[in-house]
Chains A and B, each alone.
Chain A
């Protein structure tokens, strides 16, 4: 008897599954009224719940490496200088910044009355401690290579002079990462203290991070009192959270996800500021032949990748630079190689591969956008006779095998610049650069790069950087694909979301409209 009853239940479940099936996704989404949680409750408590897809790593601001952690702790920590939403570097813990004419001395004045979140005033000792922690190399995880141009630190009361061994246009940008923390800090990992508009309240591993507006902030205080970052490592969880009213804001969504939201949300479209490309190991056969690399560029239809795998969201790129770095961006390079499989085939036969070849694309499996792009690329390459298969690697393996040992043929990944300088996007293709994982080696490139790095005039340097971009495109160093779109769902009534040209989320500008 019981087995009959179970049978009935199972059949019911199966039927339910089938009827649900015919309904389709969109319908389900529209049925989903955000009714469960009283949304106004968040506004009443002046609280915002933000969903994030990845857990945070170390909360020590000098140890954190995950982009997702830096993105959020941007609200908690500040350097002597920090970026504003237009990409300009503005004073923060310092109230005043100046540079000597020869570019060798940077002078800072410590901001008057500035306090740490624990109520202690920020002293010059704390500033020196923070710089030294990232500079002297005693703490390897904290060491910041860009600080190695520092020759000396000179303190005089509230004034700090940093003397460089050579001029550097990127030095100030590097200082943005030197977050100022108190020199007495026994619990950096568990209860970090900074000077930003929001202070750290609590953190639960793989679950949540809570911040609160800092009452004694020196600048414009955050209007939302409490901000809760909820870690939901599942795409459905994020969308359900928004639909049910548990979450108010989620960034980095895909268009498939935002399509499931109703009118209760405003979707802001920005860019991730990432150069996604099929990066080629220029030292490995057959990619050491420029004709093969160019053939790949002609064989891959970037717009089709964007349309098929990204629902049309994304900006096609032609070189290692993205449009939000307007100063350095060379628009004409985008269409240098237009999709032309015929040309690709003839270049391949010229290079001695009339029947194509086999290749593997190594992809870090935890990055869906890269896996998806690689999947479409493999299908497109089939057209010109290239048989590509994907190697899905976990992130650690990818880092050591592909990125560090350079033991790969091709890979799809994203290269970014976390401090708003072109240098990080271009220096890595110099022959001797440590992180030149593509083994790109071009004597002209190396010469221009050396010139650019030592150039102290900004305009001249910009021109040299543009020359580097052109070099990368002409020699088809890699197959540049796109700058990924960044879709941010913001609940109606929540205002003030500001896009930055770098990977940060500023919660201090948010507010609930009445």
Chain B
């Protein structure tokens, strides 16, 4: 449609993003069965700077950082995906109800939404850890999932609100379709246009948020690791072993970047379809 954007095929963003992401996923999957060194073995010498043997160097315990990143990225990926699923499921439910019905339901749920936005996610995470019990990967996923509900709710709500008065919905209502049918059969499929990119952006935020959580002391349980946990470890030794923080941080950036490009491609395509 736009002259500007048609000069580049949105597919190319999709392809580049998919290639980066697939490569990373491939490395992660291989890492589940094989890593160059044991990610927990502490015998390679403390604080070795990057070399051909240890391309990302070693950490304060003398562990191979590359092997740990490969293993940790897997955990990060699982946590981020589950978070997005919980956040999206909750958010879409709330958003579609409030957007479709409007009125009092809308006002109340959106205030709860505001409250959730302002509520410190750190406290929420502590709360869930207390309820679920510590040492469970699920508590982080649950906490982050809850944190992500408001943003998905907001996106879905505005889309529903703009769609509900369209002709095809009114038509469906006239033919006697119930609310549930209208919401799930007529409206929801039509929100894919905005929800799909929102899902990828959500994934990005989830990776970063899991990292922030680990950073504040809640998250995976060592000797397991995640990229976020590793980065928080790396922070205290950045002046001794800067390679630790850099390699871990840049891995996060790469992972998120790949998925972000996919999102960009999807969004550009959605616009084209429009």
Contact = CB atoms under 8 A, between A and B. Distances in A.
Taking the complex as a whole, does A directly touch B, i.e. does some CB pair lie under 8 Å apart?
A: yes
B61 A375 contact: yes
B51 to A, nearest CB: 11
Interface of B: 40-42, 46-47, 49-50, 60-62, 126, 129-130, 134-135, 217-218, 221-224, 236-243, 246
B223 A20 contact: no
B42 A308 contact: yes
Interface string A2-44: 0000000000000001101110110011000000000000000
Given A362-B134, A376-B61, A394 B222 contact: no
A379 B40 contact: yes
Contacts of A392: 134, 217-218, 221-222
What secondary structure prevails in chain A residues at the interface with B?
A: helix
Q: How large is the interface on A (under 10, 10 to 19, 20 to 34, 35 or more residues)?
A: 35 or more
A259 B223 CA distance: 27
Contact of A25 (B129, B221, B242): B242
Nearest to B241: A25
A235 B236 contact: yes
A513 interface: no
Contact of B238 (A236, A371, A372, A393): A236
Task: Give the 4 A-B CB pairs with smallest separation, nearest first.
Answer: A25-B240, A391-B135, A390-B222, A365-B217
Contacts of B223: 375, 378-379, 389-390
A260 interface: yes
A260 B239 contact: yes
A74 B47 CA distance: 38
Given A379-B223, A393-B134, A397-B130, A21 B50 contact: yes
B49 A22 contact: yes
Nearest to B49: A24
A25 B126 contact: no
B135 A389 contact: yes
Nearest to A394: B217
Contacts, number: 86
Nearest to A29: B239
B48 to A, nearest CB: 10
A161 B119 CA distance: 57
A371 to B, nearest CB: 8
A343 to B, nearest CB: 22
Contacts of B241: 25
Contact of B246 (A17, A235, A259, A368): A17
A263 interface: no
A389 B222 contact: yes
Interface string A286-319: 0000000000000000000000110100000000
User: Of B46, B60, B130, B222, which is in contact with the most chain A CB atoms at under 10 Å from its CB?
Assistant: B222
Interface string A433-470: 00000000000000000000000000000000000000
A256 B134 contact: no
A382 B38 CA distance: 12
Nearest to A26: B240
A59 interface: no
Nearest to A235: B236
Nearest to A243: B239
A231 interface: no
Contacts of A397: 126, 129-130, 134
Interface in A209-241: 235-236, 239
B126 A239 contact: no
Given A25-B47, A379-B42, A256 B242 contact: no
Given A360-B135, A368-B236, 5 more contacts: A17-B246, A239-B239, A311-B46, A375-B222, A379-B223
B239 A28 contact: yes
A394 B219 CA distance: 12
Contacts of A378: 40, 222-223
Contacts of A256: 47, 60, 237, 240
25 contacts: A17-B242, A17-B246, A21-B50, A22-B49, A22-B50, A25-B239, A235-B236, A311-B46, A365-B217, A368-B236, A371-B222, A375-B61, A378-B222, A379-B42, A379-B223, A389-B223, A390-B222, A390-B223, A391-B134, A392-B134, A392-B218, A393-B134, A394-B126, A397-B129, A397-B134
A308 B239 contact: no
Contacts of B41: 379
A21 B60 CA distance: 16
Given A378-B222, A382-B40, A391-B135, A20 B46 contact: no
Contact of B62 (A22, A24, A29, A308): A308
Contacts of A18: 246
A397 B242 CA distance: 32
Nearest to A234: B236
